Structure 1
Amino acid sequence: MRKVLVSACLMGRRVRYDGRAKTVEDDVVARWREEGRLVVHCPEVAGGLPVPRPPAEIEPGATAAEVLAGRARILTPDGRDVTGHFVDGARAALATARAHGVGVAVLKESSPSCGLHEVYDGSFTGRKAPGEGVTARLLQEHGVAVFTENEIARAAERLRALEHV
């Protein structure tokens, strides 16, 4: 049985930078929980960041791939470089996915770790830009299909396809 890596904040864990959760209520996720498929993980906490913590964003104009390659940073509003925590957390997520036989991941959109289609633009003004977070990028580079909390039905389809190969 293939497992599903899921952002801890989506499962009600209070691990976000502001100490809150972004709990997702979904019948598919409930079924996955009952089946023992869920592997709950917060890359930012796994990377050593506390809860609560200052918000962090990928610097303006940079990409997750550049962060992973060491050519861009993730910063807090006061300019503190927290890149190492985010990269360590992404690597921990990948290790967790491999250890548990994860087939798909459902991650929190817009996060500098978990965003898939968009992330905050680095200005700390609440504006978003197309792009992905470092964990989403690293998982995809290593063959894990990544979806957002708004794409759970698609994640379930992909999981079924993986299990019927």
Structure 2
Amino acid sequence: MILVSSCLLGNKVKYNGESNDNSLLRRYGRYMTAICPEALGGLTIPRPPAELQNGDGNDVLAGTARVKNKLGEDVTKSFIVGADRVMDFVKKHKIQVAILKANSPSCGNKMIYDGTFSGAKISGQGVTAAMLIRHGVKVYSEKELNEDTLQRIVAMFREE
């Protein structure tokens, strides 16, 4: 089973109540299970956008950075609770691969927004992506995938 950001499979769980529907991923949906760490952490849909302040997901997990929404509210706890719940699911189902939404404060695996709500990005991981990577889960973003890569990933599960 492959863990996938719920918004990538067409579910309207983004902060603005929309999705990031990805037709390539939907074609392989039978091998995937959808999650939204922010919803699992108790945040509403829709909700104000949030960005990491003074670091990335690793810093949030270390307690040296925070997650704040555009209204200035601290939503760090919800992001950590969501990441913990995703991690519990991953352990229970022995998940080894995740495909997460690029640039997300939860799911970004290489880049995240810089905390200024200006659209600028910095190198770093979202809170859930950082937790999964720490625990040995291979994390991709949808931007790193093409048909061949996805077929290779899915092939690992057909052989089990």
User: TM-score, normalization: structure 1?
Assistant: 0.87
Unaligned 5+ runs, structure 2: none
Secondary structure of the residue aligned to 1:81 is coil
Cα pair 2:101 2:108 within 8 Å, conserved = yes
CA distance in structure 1 between the partners assigned to 2:38 and 2:45 by the alignment: 9
CA distance in structure 1 between the partners assigned to 2:145 and 2:83 by the alignment: 21
Match of 1:24 in 2: 22
- After TM superposition, the structure 1 = structure 2 runs for residues 134-153 of structure 1, keeping only pairs within 5 Å, are 134-153=127-146
Aligned-residue Cα RMSD (Å) equals 1.9
User: Shift in Å at residue 157 of structure 1?
Assistant: 3.2
Match of 1:96 in 2: 89
**Large movers: runs of 4+ above 4 Å:** 158-165
Match of 1:126 in 2: 119
User: Shift in Å at residue 96 of structure 1?
Assistant: 1.3
User: TM-score, normalization: structure 2?
Assistant: 0.90
CA distance in structure 1 between the partners assigned to 2:81 and 2:151 by the alignment: 28
Match of 2:46 in 1: 52
User: Shift in Å at residue 158 of structure 1?
Assistant: 4.8
Cα pair 1:104 1:159 within 8 Å, conserved = no
CA distance in structure 2 between the partners assigned to 1:39 and 1:162 by the alignment: 13
Unaligned 5+ runs, structure 1: none
How much identity, in percent, do the aligned residues show? 39
